[in-house]
A and B are shown apart, each in its own frame.
Chain A
Amino acid sequence: MSNGNPYSPISAKIESVIDETPTIKTFILTPSEQLHFDTGQFVEITVPGLGESPFTPSSSPMIKDRMDVTIMKAGKVTSRLHQMSEGSIVGVRGPFGKGYPLSEFKGKEVLVFGGGVGLAPLKSLLLTMFDRLNDFKRVILKYGARTPADIVYKGELKEWAKKIEVDLTVDRGDETWKGKVGLVTTLLENGHLDTENGVAVVCGPPVMMKFSTLKLLEIGYKPSSIYLSMEKNMSCGIGKCGHCRLGKYYVCKDGPVFTYEAIADIPEIWD
């Protein structure tokens, strides 16, 4: 926030751009002021003169002078961002909302469960947990993408596999793919997971979130142990503009991370 005005962005320079997939890029940003965020909190990024969109940084909050944001080309703002390159200036507001409740994960098995570009916020969570892996009983990443070309963080995934168990699948393989083929939920079958005391942290497209939650419940996870990133149309970021209401909550202020237990009674949460 700049000068006590919650609607005003600060500037950030695009240091570099990484092509992740044909529709997803990671932007390495250096904000003009340090932004202290908790893993899982989100920011609003401004394309000057065009407008803002909400994104959750994918970098570790321990890195103070830099922020990575992985962005899928989906609408007006993201299309313009995809045309921007090294040296361009964008605006940043935030951070907003509540991050992942890491203290609640302490001593437990943490299943990090992602789909598509949904791995972006989870990457920040993973990097944060890597600094204190001993705090957790076990950390597992299960991730699915539509095709091998749609997998983000290909290089990092290999590195992470040296630290934690990484389990990947694609909906449709190709001639080079030697891994698993099947929907991401198939990774939950016979997964030797501690459904009794462990937690599952889920982020992905709405339909993936829905079926993943149902599957997690089916295999025994408690509604209070399933953490969901409910990304709605967050705009002001401070619970005033009304766009991201979900039942009695504003996703921007009370979320974006909710336990399934907290929102299970709200009708039509997956729409």
Chain B
Amino acid sequence: MNKSYFLKNAGIKELIPSLARDFKLFAPERIEETYKWRRVLEDSPKTPDWSQYRTVEPLKTFFFPPRYTVATYSADTPQGKADLDALKEKQTVLFGTKACDLRSLKVLDHVFLEGEIEDPFYKARRENTILIASDCTEFTENCFCLALGINPFPEDNYDIKFSVLEEGLLLEAGSQRGESLLDRYRSHFTEATASQKEEAEKNRNTFIDNYRKKIAGENLPEKDSIKGYVEKNFKSGIWENYSEDCVECGACNLVCPTCHCFILQDYARSGGDFGRSLLWDSCQYKTFARVAGGANPRRRLAERIRNRFDKKFSFFPERIDSYACTGCGRCTEACLAGIDIREVLKELASA
């Protein structure tokens, strides 16, 4: 087991400016009932808010931004190069990532890093980012990670995890990189005592008991049963019903921590040069699967809604033995039509 450290509240005020000086530091900031990632600068007057639950933006925004240039080329020599140096200049530290977003990395890493050809942009950003993750201490009304077998505490894919205690933070490394970072700022920490670890454990238990009660009240389907739902309901009227409400805005894809689809878009730059952007796409858009001749395997919205569930609950389990859903509830929160992913799953279960 890794060693645990304690950082007292007064020490946080000293550590944060050091981290902000040495890294590109981001931490969640509370804005009314939500948290949003915010850059923390060395002279930021405020100590970050220790977020109780996940941010509005999914973690993918740091590794796979909504739009970025992947190549530039000129008309006579369309020969671009990957400009990765800028991505490697200063390491990014994310102070307060949550379990749902850590789980999304299982999907994103598979898509962008595994297989014959990796995405050099994702790789550079991912390798250049240190993830300091923290326990959830509250849930939003749309959270349901627990129903998918994900605990609301950092369990994998983090460099350092921490729990917020009355008097400070309890920290523990989860990777070699996290270990080195703790070593670097060792003077700020004391070794954690047994009672501090107990306090963290007690907080976790109290929270998860509350969370379990909420989830139990929602009567969600058993997690392992979801895999066969789309196939079983392929011809069901459920998709048609939801297509009457859906407005095809694509928000569910954009806020989803695992949705990774994108399009490549070429554009003219000044001086006769051209650029190629990679930008997020949505499988809910009519043009997503259309080919030039006009054939479209998912012409109807119902087919596209079904596609989204098929990809999340059939395709990924088949490929990586994991749903491409982390129960973060962001799609429910974002949906203009009020479609709740939990309700869809419940309907599929009962059909």
Interface residues of chain A, those whose CB is within 8 Å of chain B, are 1-11, 32, 46, 48-53, 72, 74-78, 89-91, 205-206, 231-233, 235-236, 238-245, 247-248, 253, 267-268, 271
Q: How many angstroms between the C-alpha atoms of A89 and B288 in the bound complex?
A: 28
Which of B70, B115, B266, B291 lies in contact with A48, CB distance below 8 A? B266
Contact assessment for A241 and B266 in the assembled complex, using a CB-CB cutoff below 8 Å: no
- Residues of B in contact, count (CB < 8 Å): 53
Q: How many angstroms between the C-alpha atoms of A135 and B59 in the bound complex?
A: 54
B207 within 8 A of partner (CB): no
Q: What's the least CB distance linking A77 to chain B, in Å?
A: 7
Q: How many angstroms between the C-alpha atoms of A74 and B268 in the bound complex?
A: 23
Q: Which residues of B contact A241 (CB under 8 A)?
A: 261-264, 281
Interface of A is mostly: loop
Question: Beyond A5-B70, A50-B266, A233-B290, is A240–B260 a contact (Cβ under 8 Å)?
Answer: yes
Q: How many angstroms between the C-alpha atoms of A48 and B269 in the bound complex?
A: 11
Contact assessment for B80 and A89 in the assembled complex, using a CB-CB cutoff below 8 Å: no
Q: Which residues of B contact A240 (CB under 8 A)?
A: 111-112, 119, 260, 262
Which of B262, B266, B318 lies in contact with A49, CB distance below 8 A? B266
Q: How many angstroms between the C-alpha atoms of A7 and B261 in the bound complex?
A: 15
Contact assessment for A75 and B292 in the assembled complex, using a CB-CB cutoff below 8 Å: yes
Question: Beyond A9-B71, A46-B266, A49-B274, is A238–B117 a contact (Cβ under 8 Å)?
Answer: yes
Q: How many angstroms between the C-alpha atoms of A271 and B298 in the bound complex?
A: 8
What are the interface flags for B225-238 relative to A under an 8 Å C-beta threshold, 1 for contact and 0 otherwise? 00000000010000
Contact assessment for A49 and B311 in the assembled complex, using a CB-CB cutoff below 8 Å: no
Q: What's the least CB distance linking A76 to chain B, in Å?
A: 8
Q: What's the least CB distance linking B272 to chain A, in Å?
A: 9
B1 within 8 A of partner (CB): no
B338 within 8 A of partner (CB): no
Contact assessment for B297 and A74 in the assembled complex, using a CB-CB cutoff below 8 Å: no
Q: How many angstroms between the C-alpha atoms of A50 and B268 in the bound complex?
A: 8
Q: What's the least CB distance linking B129 to chain A, in Å?
A: 19
Contact assessment for B263 and A235 in the assembled complex, using a CB-CB cutoff below 8 Å: yes
Question: Beyond A6-B119, A205-B293, A245-B315, is A89–B77 a contact (Cβ under 8 Å)?
Answer: yes
Q: Which residues of B contact A76 (CB under 8 A)?
A: 292
Q: Which residues of B contact A52 (CB under 8 A)?
A: 264, 266
Which of B81, B281, B291 lies in contact with A242, CB distance below 8 A? B281
Q: How many angstroms between the C-alpha atoms of A240 and B261 in the bound complex?
A: 7
Closest to B268 in A: A49
- The A-contacting residues of B in range 289-305, CB under 8 angstroms, are 289-299, 303
B75 within 8 A of partner (CB): yes
Contact assessment for B80 and A2 in the assembled complex, using a CB-CB cutoff below 8 Å: yes
Which of B79, B261, B263, B289 lies in contact with A32, CB distance below 8 A? B79
Contact assessment for A9 and B293 in the assembled complex, using a CB-CB cutoff below 8 Å: no
Q: Which residues of A contact B166 (CB under 8 A)?
A: none
Which of A32, A51, A53 lies in contact with B265, CB distance below 8 A? A51
Contact assessment for A89 and B276 in the assembled complex, using a CB-CB cutoff below 8 Å: no
A6, A50, A53: which has the most chain B beta carbons within 10 Å?
A6
What are the interface flags for B166-186 relative to A under an 8 Å C-beta threshold, 1 for contact and 0 otherwise? 000000000000000000000
B76, B288, B292, B315: which has the most chain A beta carbons within 10 Å?
B292
Q: Which residues of B contact A247 (CB under 8 A)?
A: 315
Q: Which residues of B contact A11 (CB under 8 A)?
A: 73, 76-79
Q: Which residues of A contact B119 (CB under 8 A)?
A: 6, 238, 240
Contact assessment for B266 and A75 in the assembled complex, using a CB-CB cutoff below 8 Å: no
Which of A50, A72, A243 lies in contact with B261, CB distance below 8 A? A243
Q: What's the least CB distance linking A82 to chain B, in Å?
A: 12
Contact assessment for A232 and B73 in the assembled complex, using a CB-CB cutoff below 8 Å: no
B319 within 8 A of partner (CB): yes
Contact assessment for A8 and B79 in the assembled complex, using a CB-CB cutoff below 8 Å: yes
Q: How many angstroms between the C-alpha atoms of A236 and B288 in the bound complex?
A: 13
Which of B81, B293, B295 lies in contact with A3, CB distance below 8 A? B81
Q: How many angstroms between the C-alpha atoms of A253 and B288 in the bound complex?
A: 18
B82 within 8 A of partner (CB): yes
Contact assessment for A5 and B82 in the assembled complex, using a CB-CB cutoff below 8 Å: yes
Q: Which residues of A contact B112 (CB under 8 A)?
A: 240
Q: How many angstroms between the C-alpha atoms of A78 and B291 in the bound complex?
A: 12
Contact assessment for A7 and B292 in the assembled complex, using a CB-CB cutoff below 8 Å: no
Question: Beyond A49-B267, A91-B78, is A242–B262 a contact (Cβ under 8 Å)?
Answer: yes
Q: How many angstroms between the C-alpha atoms of A267 and B297 in the bound complex?
A: 11
Question: Beyond A2-B79, A8-B71, A239-B115, is A245–B311 a contact (Cβ under 8 Å)?
Answer: yes
Contact assessment for A236 and B295 in the assembled complex, using a CB-CB cutoff below 8 Å: no
Q: Which residues of A contact B77 (CB under 8 A)?
A: 11, 32, 89
Which of A1, A2, A51, A243 lies in contact with B266, CB distance below 8 A? A51
Q: How many angstroms between the C-alpha atoms of A72 and B294 in the bound complex?
A: 13
Question: Beyond A51-B265, A233-B289, A240-B119, is A90–B81 a contact (Cβ under 8 Å)?
Answer: no
